[in-house]
Structure formats: structure tokens, C-alpha cells
Structure 1
Amino acid sequence: MHYRKQQGGMSFLGWILVLALLALVGLGIMRLFPLYMEYFSVKTSLESLVNQPDLHAMGKTNIRNALLRRLDINDVAHVSKENIEIIKTRRTVTVAVDYEVRTPFLGNIDLMAHFNPLIEVSSP
């Protein structure tokens, strides 16, 4: 008498659960991707301030306006002038952008991302 070995595998319900989990992870990645692309634009705009030749001679308002122009060119929508903090000392200029973004995820569930890029430029 031969007994067949019972094959062990994933059931249909198991596959449905795995696919649902993968769909949720994929949806999360799709929702967060634009936020991180915008963050990299903010970071690039901040880093371009390092190449500004007269940064140390500029006032805080002028530095803020220069950064806001760069952010506008890069189509950054979630940063306003209230999110920009500029600290000038005798030797350094520190520019920080502190902001958070909420994006809808599923129903009444939102995803929130908090970003805080900054640069510190030493005087020449």
C-alpha cells in the first residue's frame, strides 16, 4: 500500500492575505514617494545656497527670499516662510527648514512625514 505524501503549501486564503499585505505596502510607497521627492528638492535648494557668493553679507529676509525662490522653481508646495529658520553668527550661517506633510493613505488614515534638513555655511 502506497500512501501519498500530503503536500504542504499555502492555501488560497493565505495567498489572499499575502497579496493584501503587499498591496498595502505598495500603496504606502506610492503615497510617500512624492513626499520624499519633494524633500530631496528642498535639500537640493538648501545646498545651492552654499554657492551663493554673498550669503554672509545678506540679511535674514534676503536669504529667506532667495531660498523661497529656489523652492518655487523646484515646485515645492509644502514649505512656507514660517518653516524656514535662519541663524546668523559671526562665523556661520545656519539655514534650517522644518516641516511636516500629511497625505491620505486609506479611508480616514493619513501618513505623516516630518522633515528637518539644514545647512551650515562657514564664513570665507
Structure 2
Amino acid sequence: MIKYSKHSHQHGIGLLGFLLVLTAFGILGTVALKALPAYMEYYSIQATVNRIAHDPLLQSDSDVRTAFDRQMQVDSIHDVTGRDLDISGGVVAMRYQKKILLTDSITLLIDFDAASKP
């Protein structure tokens, strides 16, 4: 025989708590969706920098910069150019910032640092 108490309460999230959690996920989702293209472009730049740094046909700094400029047209890279490359000691690197407008008064600033692997 099972006895049920008159005062048993179910515990869980209430309507206000649910709305707060939903709002937090909505804000985080919006930030993630707006930042995703910048990160995709960064990974494209990183791959291009690695590919160009290990190309034995590119001997001078100007060859490396020209090759990067050609590749950025293919990969739809818009934020940087070959002039932004830092070439020293066989390592090709690039540092840049990306500003992403979230709302009229809130901007997200991301620092990117792409460098070729040895």
C-alpha cells in the first residue's frame, strides 16, 4: 500500500526562471551567430598563411605577399591583405582585430593572431 502525502510538492523551474534561461541562451546564441563569420575567416587566413609559408616556390617577401593577395580573392578574405603579413625567419604571421556590431551601443572586439607552423 502506497501512501501519498497531502503536502508533496513538485520541484522544477518556474516560468520566470525559464524566461531568464531562455533570454540568456538567446543572447549567447546571437553573439555566437554574429561572431561565427569572423572565426571562419580567421581559420581561412590561418590555412592560407600555413600553405604560403611552406611553398618552396615563394622566395621573397613580395612573392609571399602577392600569393596571399591572390589567395584572399579565392577564399573571400576581406579584413586583411598581404601588406599586413609579418614575414621573418621563415615564419609568416598576421595579427588583426575584428569589430562586430552586436547592437547600436554594444560592439564585440576580437583579437586574432594567425601564424604559420614550423
Which TM-score band (shorter chain)?
0.7 to 0.9
User: What is the rounded CA distance, in whole Å, between the counterparts of 1:113 and 1:81 in structure 2?
Assistant: 20
Q: Which runs of 5+ in 1 are unaligned?
A: none
> CA separation of 1:54/1:28 partners in 2, compared to 1, >3 Å: closer, same or farther?
same
Q: Say which is worse superposed, 16-25 or 99-108, in terms of deviation.
A: 99-108
Q: Is the CA contact (8 Å cut-off) linking 2:65 and 2:83 kept in structure 1? A: no
Aligned mate of 2:39, from 23, 27, 36:
36
Question: What is the CA-CA distance between 1:8 and the residue it aligns to?
Answer: 2.2
Q: Say which is worse superposed, 102-111 or 37-46, in terms of deviation.
A: 102-111
Residue 105 (str. 1) matches residue 63 (str. 2): no
- Given the two structures, how large is their TM-score scaled by the length of structure 1? 0.81
> CA separation of 1:120/1:26 partners in 2, compared to 1, >3 Å: closer, same or farther?
closer
2:66 alignment counterpart: 65
Name the structure with the higher strand share.
1
User: What is the rounded CA distance, in whole Å, between the counterparts of 2:57 and 2:100 in structure 1?
Assistant: 38
2:26 alignment counterpart: 23
Question: What is the CA-CA distance between 1:82 and the residue it aligns to?
Answer: 4.2
The one-letter amino acid paired with 1:23 is G
Query: Percent of aligned pairs with the same residue?
Result: 24
Q: State the superposition RMSD in angstroms.
A: 1.8
Q: Which runs of 5+ in 2 are unaligned?
A: none
Matches within 5 A, 1:44-123: 44-55=47-58, 58-87=59-88, 92-119=89-116
